[in-house]
Amino acid sequence: MKRFLLWMLPLLLFVAVEGQTGSSNSAALPPDFERIFESGRYPAAHNLPRLRLMTWNIDHGARLDQIAAGMQTYAADLYLLQEVDSNTTRDGHTDVTAELSRRLGLNGVFAIEFEELSQEHNAPAYTGQATLSRLPFLQSRILRFERQSGFWKPRPWIPSSVPLMQRRRGGRLALVSEFDWDGRKLVVYNAHLESRSAGFIQEKQLDEILADASRYPPGSVILLGGDLNTKYLPSIFLRKLEAAGFQSAMGEHIERTHRIMMALDWIFAKGPVRISDGAIEHGARGSDHYPLCAILERSR
């Protein structure tokens, strides 16, 4: 037992310390990390004055039938999905974005967040964000955050092949898509903020989103949704976004979106719009998160 504790002590110290620190994301990544992968060739809807929204961390998509059923039950016009796998062993080497696009008859885009080193077999395995929509896509791009946790990096003394260790290459990002929404541009940030740190890195990454959103003219319609990992003092994040002109789909309410604990998942909107009917769908299955749904419509 003493030997086991001595072996575990450095790992526990690493988890406690490294997960709290932030670093610049300066390491060069393979070209695929800058690509937007497109799925589906379905007709888009050009006349949707009222949008049904869903954001959902799908826990990689291993229980794909349940995830697809939940998306169909709480049918939306715009889906923001996080922790979406591509070619991982745990998902049977499935392209989850392409499969959901096919099942729902929606066009979609996928961006790589991490290469999952413990999930590979003869080819790279990835996880990232996917946005699926009935609206016409104008363009999509990746906002990979400068501020990242060092927790996930491969280390010589940690076996990358062991799933429990979860070694990764890459970094957290927001998948930014622009849509033609009934003749007006809609800018959507599909975000997955850091899960490590006591909120410090999450707040810095949110600042990067707000700085990026400032490039759009005043009065632009901007939607921010996803897993913001607001484990610690979520009210601080809510107030910060309200101060930047965003309104939450849940109003002033802060509710648990994870099956065990914590309010992690949000939808915010900014501009001449009204976001309402925010609801956490506790009946959905297939993930450790619940989907959050809402309605977006233009202000009268």
Instruction: Specify the length of the chain in residues.
Output: 300
CB atoms within 10 A of CB 277: 13
pLDDT at 172: 98
Helix axes 64-73, 96-104, angle to 10 degrees: 40
Separation CA 198–CA 21 (nearest Å): 10
pLDDT at 3: 52
Question: Average pLDDT for residues 6-11, to the nearest whole number?
Answer: 43
Question: Average pLDDT for residues 184-188, to the nearest whole number?
Answer: 97
Question: Average pLDDT for residues 279-285, to the nearest whole number?
Answer: 97
Taking the domain 49-298, which CATH number applies?
Answer: 3.60.10.10
Q: What is the DSSP annotation of 44-92?
A: PPS--SEEEEEEEEEEETTTHHHHHHHHHHT--SEEEEEEEEES-GGGT
pLDDT at 9: 44
Share of the chain above pLDDT 70, in %: 90
Tens of pLDDT along 9-67?
444 344 444 444 555 544 689 999 999 999 999 999 999 999 999 999 999 999 999 99
Share of the chain above pLDDT 90, in %: 80
The sign of the CA dihedral 115, 57, 96, 222 is negative
Tens of pLDDT along 224-273?
999 999 999 999 999 999 999 999 999 999 999 999 989 999 999 999 99
pLDDT at 100: 98
pLDDT at 26: 45
Phi, psi (degrees; rounded to nearest 5) at 177: -125, 145
Tens of pLDDT along 138-148?
999 999 999 99
Tokens of 188: 């959507």
Q: What does the domain layout of the chain look like in residue ranges?
A: 49-298
pLDDT at 1: 53
Residue identified by tokens 């998902």 is: 91
Do residues 207 and 176 touch, judged by C-beta distance below 8 A? no
Q: What mean pLDDT value characterizes the chain?
A: 91
Q: pLDDT higher for 130 or 7? A: 130
Question: Average pLDDT for residues 184-206, to the nearest whole number?
Answer: 96
**Where does residue 10 fall: left (phi above 0), alpha (psi -120 to 50 degrees), or beta otherwise?**
alpha
Question: Average pLDDT for residues 158-165, to the nearest whole number?
Answer: 73
